[in-house]
Amino acid sequence: MQAVGLTSLEPAPPLVRNVLYAAVGLMIGLRITHSSLHRLRGVLAPALLVPAVMIVSGILLGSLLAALAPDDSRLKLDLQTAALSITPGGFQEMTIAAQQMGALIPVVVVAHMVRIMTVLYTYPKIVHALVRRAGEQRAETENGASEDQPEEAAREEQAGVGQWLAMATGAAAGGAFGAWSGFPAGAVVFAMLGAASVKAVIGADSARLPNYGRLGI
């Protein structure tokens, strides 16, 4: 509605934005479990290499995109907007980064929407055609893991109010520190770390936000 001129809204106050960022960080942090951390041990080197390659590629391709859209063109992309539009990343996180870095949010949002929809509709088919055997092995592993889901669901019900308050407090403290530090997307990153740390300390490994909670955030 704002885009077509039906209404005009001022940007949300920093306090409101940081609360929302901390909520996103809580949602992400609750996805971190002991098993996911154990799996990272074998992929630590690739996990560090892939972001480095993505960052370098994003800067290079962003510089190229910014050069193709100088100030005298209709698009007029600055370097930060171009880099954030090109760099692969989570839709929520890239939008938050664009807001905090003063980039053109509509351009970043549209670019990532096109990327996400393209990947969702084409990438699975390409991967399935190239690695069908690996897909069959993965399906067997998923079938074995699905047998543990009822037990995990039972454990999820054991997360008490005190544990949820502790994890929310960890996310709030991390988000406050991230906002105070001025770190890019710090409210999200440190809220995620705070929630994950508290979750590990109190032993609430199976705690998950329900679907309506994730949808609400």
Dihedral Cα 187, 211, 39, 137, nearest 10 deg? -150
Assess whether pLDDT exceeds 60 at residue 179: yes
Q: What is the pTM of this model?
A: 0.51
Q: What is the pLDDT of residue 155?
A: 45
pLDDT in tens, 6-56: 555 556 677 777 888 888 888 888 777 767 666 666 677 777 888 888 888
pLDDT-wise least confident of 49-63, 74-88, 198-212: 198-212
Report residue 83 as tokens. 């880099």
Tens-place pLDDT, residues 81-129: 888 888 877 777 787 778 777 888 888 888 888 888 888 888 778 877 7
- Could you give the dihedral angle defined by the CA atoms of residues 185, 67, 65 and 63, in that order, rounded to the nearest 10 degrees? -50
Q: Which of 68, 101, 108 is nearest to 84 (CA)?
A: 108
pLDDT of amino acid 158: 57
Residue with tokens 């997360």: 159
Half-sphere exposure of 138 (CA within 13 A, CB side): 7
**CB of 112 within 8 A of CB of 102?**
no
